[in-house]
């Protein structure tokens, strides 16, 4: 019997992208041609901001002084956790070399990107945590220059908490530029920045589209759509906690789907009763966002057993996957497709979003089938090298010559031939394809 839907989405989580590509391409082209003046013009048009673009040290210090100490302590706590986890991730990569055949040594070397551009949203919500996740991780990776672009508020500039956070996490330059113009400034190297090697960080559909268009000229973390979350829960789960976690993610926006997968019809019905009550208690605009996401996109799915629950979760490949069920080790071993996994009710997506240490820049829209989220590895290049003695080059040259001629690539073959002739004069080699 297939899983039963007690609640089915009435539409998909499309990004309402009609016309976005053309708009973003026009802005990027205009800024590339017009440079800083064009970027300033868009800042005035979209952000209603006419202040200085490059944030000064005086402004950063004033921002820090304006914040309560408790908030600064919380930011440093989150930064330390993200830093420690990024350092642990970095330790899993290292330089390697191996003698493949006698006299032939090959290896890998880890080299960080030189310049990273981090976008930090600051429109409806001031995403302090996005500054922590992107800047800290780039800093641990060893990027030599880290730029931040974040939307300014009219007359006041970037939110003080974002400035403070980006500064302590290691940003070298901060730009009061939001949207496509912020992404473009980092990509094109405006306002004294080096051109970004990689662009990272969440943003609205215009930011995501700008990164998509620029991909190839620069690296990006991933193609991102609306955030999504799935909870797997059995009859041992607390319905109120499950409901609160679903609402907590639905408040991201009207196009942020949430899903409940359970083998308990009673739990499913209880959660469906509780969600509207929790949603109604939120302030605006959170309430309207959560109501729309729950009404249009949420799904509640009842399965026969935990294996079917796991299969459904893997099929959805959610950005965030929470398990509130018995035998957490079984779930950790069984689940395959998710951006980040939260095991047990003692942890929740918000912990990962803000302060637990794992990164919150994660694959959306089913992309967890083939990729993970932002990590220190995204800022690091794994490059390879080789060296050989004359004897070590011999078997490789012979094989290369024959394979190349079989492929029809005579020029390649002759680069092997010339070395064999030089290193082993007077010897004869069979360097042509059979037949």
Q: 78-82, 153-157, 326-330, 395-399: lowest mean pLDDT where?
A: 153-157
Neighbours of 4 (CB within 10 A): 12
- Can 319 be counted among the known catalytic residues? yes
What is the rounded average pLDDT of the residues 408-432? 94
Query: For 242-300, how does the pLDDT look when each residue is reduced to its tens digit (9 = 90+)?
Result: 999 999 999 998 999 999 999 999 999 999 999 999 999 999 999 999 999 999 999 99
Q: 9-13, 208-212, 361-365, 385-389: lowest mean pLDDT where?
A: 9-13
Residue 125 tokens read as: 């919500």
Statement: residue 435 has pLDDT above 60: no
DSSP string, 243-300: HHHHHHHHTT-TT--EEEEES-HHHHHHHHHHHHHHHHTSPTTHHHHHHHHHHHT-EE
Contact (Cβ atoms closer than 8 angstroms) between residue 132 and residue 85: no
Query: For 123-145, how does the pLDDT look when each residue is reduced to its tens digit (9 = 90+)?
Result: 776 789 999 999 999 999 999 99
- Can 360 be counted among the known catalytic residues? no
Pairing of strands 229-233, 320-324: parallel
Mean pLDDT for all residues in the chain: 94
SS3 call for 171 = coil
Give the CA angle between residues 48, 49, 55 to the nearest 5°.
Answer: 155
Contact (Cβ atoms closer than 8 angstroms) between residue 179 and residue 81: no
Measured distance CA(336)–CA(339) in Å, rounded: 10
The percent of residues above 70 in pLDDT, for the chain, comes to 97
Out of 252, 291, 319, 360, which one is annotated catalytic?
319
pLDDT band at 155 (very low <50, low <70, confident <90, very high): confident
pLDDT band at 15 (very low <50, low <70, confident <90, very high): very low
Q: 13-17, 88-92, 211-215, 389-393: lowest mean pLDDT where?
A: 13-17
Out of 87, 320, 360, 398, which one is annotated catalytic?
320
What is the pLDDT, as a whole number, of residue 125? 67
Contact (Cβ atoms closer than 8 angstroms) between residue 133 and residue 373: no
Statement: residue 434 has pLDDT above 60: no
What is the pLDDT, as a whole number, of residue 1? 74
pLDDT band at 2 (very low <50, low <70, confident <90, very high): confident
What is the pLDDT, as a whole number, of residue 13? 58
Q: 6-15, 63-72, 74-83, 89-98: lowest mean pLDDT where?
A: 6-15
Statement: residue 122 has pLDDT above 90: no
Statement: residue 234 has pLDDT above 60: yes
Statement: residue 84 has pLDDT above 60: yes
């Amino acid at each position: 019997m297939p899983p039963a839907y007690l609640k089915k989405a009435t539409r998909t989580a499309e990004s309402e992208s009609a016309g976005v590509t053309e708009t973003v391409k026009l802005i990027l082209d205009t800024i590339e041609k017009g440079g800083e003046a064009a970027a300033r013009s868009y800042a005035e048009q979209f952000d209603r901001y006419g202040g200085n673009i490059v944030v000064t040290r005086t402004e950063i210090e004033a921002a820090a002084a304006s914040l309560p100490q408790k908030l600064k302590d919380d930011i440093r706590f989150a930064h330390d956790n993200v830093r420690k986890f990024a350092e642990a991730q970095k330790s899993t990569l290292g330089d390697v070399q191996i003698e493949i055949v006698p006299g032939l040594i090959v290896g890998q070397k880890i080299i960080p990107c030189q310049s990273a551009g981090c976008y930090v949203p600051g429109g409806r919500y001031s995403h302090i945590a996005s500054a922590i996740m992107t800047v800290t991780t780039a800093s641990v990776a060893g990027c030599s220059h880290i730029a931040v672009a974040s939307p300014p508020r009219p007359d006041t500039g970037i939110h003080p908490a974002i400035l403070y956070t980006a500064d302590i996490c290691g940003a070298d330059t901060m730009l009061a530029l939001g949207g496509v113009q912020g992404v473009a400034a980092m990509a094109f190297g405006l306002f004294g920045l080096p051109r970004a090697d990689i662009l990272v960080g969440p943003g609205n559909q215009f930011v995501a589209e700008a990164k998509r268009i620029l991909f190839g000229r620069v690296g990006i973390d991933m193609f991102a759509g609306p955030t999504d979350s799935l909870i797997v829960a059995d009859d041992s789960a607390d319905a109120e906690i499950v409901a609160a976690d679903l609402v907590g993610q639905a408040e991201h926006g009207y196009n942020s789907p949430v899903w409940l997968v359970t083998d308990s019809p009673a739990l499913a019905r209880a959660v469906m009763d509780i969600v509207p009550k929790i949603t109604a208690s939120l302030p605006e605009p959170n309430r309207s966002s959560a109501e729309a996401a729950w009404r249009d996109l949420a799904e509640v799915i009842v399965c026969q057993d935990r294996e079917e629950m796991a299969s459904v979760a893997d099929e959805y490949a959610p950005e965030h996957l929470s398990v509130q069920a018995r035998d957490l080790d079984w779930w950790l071993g069984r689940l395959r497709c998710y951006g980040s996994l939260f095991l047990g009710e003692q942890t929740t997506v918000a912990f990962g979003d803000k302060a637990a240490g794992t990164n919150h820049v994660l694959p959306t829209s089913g992309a967890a089938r083939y990729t993970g989220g932002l990590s220190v590895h995204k800022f690091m290049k794994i490059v390879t090298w080789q060296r050989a003695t004359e004897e070590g080059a011999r078997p490789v040259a012979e094989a290369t010559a024959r394979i190349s001629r079989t492929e029809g690539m005579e020029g390649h073959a002759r680069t092997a031939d010339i070395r064999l002739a030089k290193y082993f004069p007077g010897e004869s080699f069979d360097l042509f394809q059979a037949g």
